[in-house]
Amino acid sequence: MALWSGRFEQSVGEFTQRFGASLEIDKKMYRQDIHGSIAHAKMLARQGIISQTDFEHIEVGLLEIENQIRQGKFKYDVNDEDIHMAVEGALTDDIGAAGQRLHTGRSRNDQVAVDIRMHAKYLLVELMAENYSLRRVILRAARKYFGVVMPGYTHLQHAQPILFSHHLLAYFWMFTRDFKRLADAFDDADANPLGAAALAGTTYPLDRAYTTELLGFSRAIPNSLDAVSDRDYLLDLLYACTVSMLHLSRLCEEIIIWSTTEFGFITLSDSYSTGSSIMPQKKNPDFAELTRGKTGRVVGDLMSLVVTMKSLPLAYNKDLQECKEGSIDAAHTLRDCMICMEGMIDTWTVHADRMREEAAQGFTAATDVADYLAKRGMPFRKAHEVVGELVLYCEKHGKGLEDLTHEEFQKASPLFGEDIVGELDPEAIARARTTYGGTGHDAVREQMREASRKLKSDRRVVKNIRERGAVI
């Protein structure tokens, strides 16, 4: 019979037992459950609610169960509904009455809540560390390919020449914002619900501050109803994972495009490509495509919990059992996709000449030609019109701006001097963008220095979390 069987004359049926169980997903939280129980028992002994001898038996028994689970030797009972009942049942079988006293002053509601919060913190700090690693790879690539010019795009049309490093760093800053979202989700999860019991607290003189300290939480949750029913931190985790996957998907889309024959900007390593079962020549960017595809499942995980939380009355409801699987799935998916992206960037071959060739195509110098006229006194709107007419002339005659003679420029406007040719060079165009955040060489160098400082700062955040014992 179940641990709550006193009220019932019959056990649930085999199907409903299976339907209501969460053991398979709960197994991932065994460490958090065991150490949450050790902290609870230690506090009970400190408060004189159970004896020190009982606590010592409980601690030894729980650590032995942890060791058995880690080694794959733990035997789960067919009636185990979740990890909490599995561990407590095994503990009671092992040490007897002392094991039955473990649950004093505690409900499965606050036990579940503390396990999920601790596991969420574990997942989040792992994601923060992987995010740091990915950004380090991106910054390394930006340094390696500094000076490579490529076409910048709007609407997937050639716009202006930019540094490839500048393009990569745009993703660096996207993932930097993702790091902050993950860190904020960690802060939201870093609150102790243990001691809230089922929903109203307990008559036992529990020391919630002590379990907060033992479990590495930064604070205790001040409202017992909120403590057992809150899953906002999982919504935060899922949102952070979703946005990061969207960023990965955008980068994957560009990698897929860049690796096509039409673009030829990069060649992916064989380690991050696959072939065709029928076409011998094929080299497919499958892992970029798969990462792009996995974005959908993470978005789905977020939507699932959003709908689950809608209209739930206080306090605990069985619906909340559905909060765990999607959160764990999203975190694991994001982690694996970040690892995959690191490998793709670290091992690709960049074809700088091909990028440079395309940077000169599609009238990417047009804005600079208009600026040339504006700097010589022509109103920019008029300069825009003059250059637009030049582009139309080129299209009709099958030319690029770089193909025009000085005389052809002069016909468009007498303000064009012979130095206009220098305004058409893609490297010079990119170099001229000297404003903070621009694609000019000096501006990108400063951006890389700022990125390096941010990496060091975020690395300290992860290190400090681990050093203060905030993750189990």
Alpha carbons 471 and 125: distance in angstroms, whole number: 8
Alpha carbons 63 and 93: distance in angstroms, whole number: 15
For tokens 């910054």, name the residue: 139
Q: Residue 423: beta bridge partners?
A: none
Name the CA dihedral angle for 185, 191, 196, 200, rounded to a multiple of 10 degrees: -70
Alpha carbons 227 and 230: distance in angstroms, whole number: 6
Alpha carbons 323 and 320: distance in angstroms, whole number: 5
CB-CB contact of 400 with 409 (8 Å): no
* Known active-site residue 247: no
Q: Which of 5, 271, 276, 457 is catalytic?
A: 276
The set of residues, in sequence order, having a beta carbon less than 8 Å from that of 353 and lying 6+ positions away, is none
* Known active-site residue 37: no
Phi, psi of 143 (to 5 degrees): -70, -40
Alpha carbons 110 and 39: distance in angstroms, whole number: 13
Residue 195 parent element (H or E): none
* First vs last C-alpha separation in the chain: 31
CB-CB contact of 429 with 439 (8 Å): no
Alpha carbons 240 and 338: distance in angstroms, whole number: 13
The set of residues, in sequence order, having a beta carbon less than 8 Å from that of 211 and lying 6+ positions away, is 39, 40, 43, 192, 194, 195, 220
Q: Specify the amino acid at residue 368.
A: D
DSSP string for residues in 106-157: --HHHHHHHHHHHHHHHHHHHHHHHHHHHHHHHHHHHHHTTT-EEEEEETTE
Task: State the catalytic residues.
Answer: 155, 276
